[in-house]
């Protein structure tokens, strides 16, 4: 607990997008901030690229932008938005019975407002760069949280000593803190330890869908040609090839490439993996018309066989905090399936909502820890319902994207709405 006159020590576990934004908010309020991250600094070129386990491209929406805006330095939001691609709607791909390719644009907003396609790594780096500028922030990369005592406000981290010898034992350090923010992702260690201190309801579900990433290369732009021609398909749409039980999507990157994702039940992945050389291209030509003219067959097969086929988890829990000492945010509190494009956005919103509560309760009690306990309690009470709602919407939107966008009832509803 911070002594009178001493600055509050806030420890952030996880330097992903949500942890980095939470650290910025805490630092801006004058806390002594320590950020502990399992991995090495992602700005270090020798670090394993994040896309090994995370999608490279994300859709940033108003929910997330609002939280970045409230950090209070317009330059951060400007920097973040600079290399984004506006997404004004979705483009549904198909073909006519005679085999002609079709595209149908469906706007997200009647007023023309957009989401933004953003490079996840680039966004994370911008947040870390901003943190680096602040004198009251310290980074501890390659530090893995292994234990926490939320009554004594102590935590334990291991630092790997190198993997050359199996006998080498990782070094362990003990730290103290006033307040811990757990932003350590879906498999959160902070959440695991928090469960021992609070009666947390917890529910997790793996949906029967895996995802695998593919890539559409940019087009070469010749001198004198419009730079926009670097995109092989319209960059301002989220492209969807709905397949009823599965789907293929593509989101533009600023450099002209597209990051594509195949979402499909595990049994289908397993079936195609038996003989990708012969089955993958006919499968794509049948269900995702036009894709094999955007991605050369060899690249399609290579991505399918070399990129991981990753699971999707949905987590709900409640409450998100214990007393005045700990709260979990982002995927640690509410990992969701990606079909609503809101996981990170909701995590950013967590940061904004949490600090709004902390600010408004800061003068309400005799001690900082008492007012923090009240703020955390109010935060959990309000945020649980919202987090669960967005989790459910994300699950429901998978059916919307892979099937309903092409169903006659959907088209009829749209037609009526437009009348
Ligand atoms: P993470 O990004 O998981 O970061 C957690 C950090 O904690 C990591 O750096 C990790 O190394 C570190 N860590 C873990 N354990 C420890 C430990 N014990 N000690 C110290 N550090 C630890 N969201 C959107 O908003 N829009 C989208 O369009 C979108 N698309 C998606 C597409 C796909 C295919 C997927 C899978 C997800 C998508 N998401 C999207 C979700 C988004 O990626 C996540 O919600 C977001 O990354 C969560 O951020 P986070 O900081 O909470 O967690």
* Segment holding 2, helix H or strand E: none
How many CB atoms are closer than 10 A to CB 201? 11
**Ligand 1 centroid to residue 61 C-alpha, Å:** 16
CA 343 to ligand 1 center in whole angstroms: 8
- For the chain, the structural domain boundaries read 9-54+120-204+314-402, 87-116+206-311
182 lines ligand 1 (CB under 6 A): no
Q: How far apart are CA 144 and CA 172, in angstroms?
A: 9
pLDDT in tens, the chain (419 residues): 555 668 999 999 999 999 999 999 999 999 999 999 999 998 887 766 555 555 688 999 999 999 999 987 778 999 999 989 999 999 999 999 899 999 999 999 989 899 999 999 999 999 999 999 999 999 999 999 999 999 999 999 999 876 556 666 789 999 999 999 999 999 999 999 999 999 999 999 999 999 999 999 999 999 999 988 999 999 999 999 999 899 999 999 999 999 999 999 999 999 999 999 999 999 999 999 999 999 999 999 999 999 999 999 999 999 999 999 999 999 999 999 999 999 999 999 999 999 999 999 998 878 999 999 999 999 999 999 999 999 999 999 888 888 888 766 556 666 666 66
Ligand 1 atom 12: the closest Cα is on which residue? 14
Quote the CA–CA distance of 186 and 184 in Å, as a whole number: 7
Q: Distance, CA 331 to ligand 1 centroid (Å)?
A: 6
Measured over the CA atoms of residue 84, residue 86, residue 90 and residue 91, the dihedral's sign is negative
Q: Which CATH class for the 87-116+206-311 domain? A: alpha beta
Count of CB atoms within 10 A of residue 240's CB? 22
> CATH homologous superfamily of domain 9-54+120-204+314-402?
FAD/NAD(P)-binding domain (3.50.50.60)
H-type alpha helices, 275-340: 276-287, 297-306, 331-334
| pLDDT value for 3 | 57
31 CA to centre of ligand 1 in angstroms: 24
How many CB atoms sit inside 10 A of residue 307's CB? 17
> What backbone phi and psi angles, to 5 degrees, belong to 46?
-85, -5
Q: Report whether residue 14 contacts ligand 1, using a CB cutoff of 6 Å.
A: yes
CB distance 344 to ligand 1 below 6 Å:
yes
C-alpha distances out from residue 126 to 36, 77, 418, Å: 17, 10, 40
Q: Do domains 9-54+120-204+314-402 and 87-116+206-311 have the same CATH topology?
A: yes
Residues forming beta bridges with residue 318, ordered by sequence position: 201
Backbone dihedral angles phi then psi of residue 33, each to the nearest 5 degrees = -105, 130
Structure confidence at residue 44 (pLDDT): 84
């Amino acid at each position: 607990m911070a002594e009178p006159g001493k600055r509050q020590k806030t420890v952030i576990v996880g330097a992903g997008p949500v942890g980095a934004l939470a650290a910025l908010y805490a630092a801006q309020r004058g806390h002594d901030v320590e950020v502990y991250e399992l991995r090495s600094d992602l700005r270090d070129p020798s670090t394993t690229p994040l896309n090994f386990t995370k999608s490279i491209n994300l859709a940033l929406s108003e929910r997330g932008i609002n939280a970045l805006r409230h950090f209070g330095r317009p330059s951060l939001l400007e920097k973040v938005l600079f290399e984004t691609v506006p997404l004004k709607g979705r483009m549904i791909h198909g073909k006519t019975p005679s085999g002609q390719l079709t595209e149908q644009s469906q706007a997200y907003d009647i007023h023309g407002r957009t989401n933004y396609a953003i490079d996840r790594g680039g966004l994370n780096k911008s947040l870390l760069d901003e943190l680096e500028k602040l004198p009251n922030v310290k980074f501890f990369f390659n530090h893995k949280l292994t234990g926490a005592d939320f009554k004594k406000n102590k935590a334990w981290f291991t630092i790997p000593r190198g993997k050359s010898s199996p006998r080498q034992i990782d070094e362990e350090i003990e730290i103290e803190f006033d307040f811990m923010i757990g932003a350590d992702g879906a498999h959160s260690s902070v959440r695991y330890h928090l469960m021992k201190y609070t009666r947390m309801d917890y529910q997790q579900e793996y949906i029967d869908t895996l995802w695998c990433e593919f890539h559409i290369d940019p087009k070469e732009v010749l001198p004198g040609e419009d730079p926009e021609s670097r995109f092989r398909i319209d960059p301002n749409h989220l492209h969807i090839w709905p397949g009823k039980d599965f789907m293929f999507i593509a989101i533009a990157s600023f450099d002209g490439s597209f990051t594509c994702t195949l979402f499909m039940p595990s049994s289908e992945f397993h079936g195609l993996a038996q003989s990708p050389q012969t089955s993958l291209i006919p499968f794509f030509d049948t269900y995702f018309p036009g894709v094999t003219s955007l991605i050369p067959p060899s690249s399609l097969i290579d991505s399918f066989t070399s990129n991981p086929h990753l699971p999707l988890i949905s987590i709900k829990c409640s409450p998100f905090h214990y007393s005045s000492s700990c709260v979990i945010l982002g995927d640690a509190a509410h990992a969701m399936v990606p079909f609503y494009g809101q996981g990170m956005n909701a995590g950013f919103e967590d940061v904004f909502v949490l600090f709004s509560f902390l600010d408004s309760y800061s003068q309400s009690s005799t001690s900082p820890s008492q007012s923090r306990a009240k703020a955390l309690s109010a935060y959990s009470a309000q945020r649980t319902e919202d987090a669960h709602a967005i989790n459910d919407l994300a699950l429901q939107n998978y059916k919307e994207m892979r099937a309903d966008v092409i169903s006659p009832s959907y088209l009829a509803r749209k037609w009526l709405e437009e009348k």
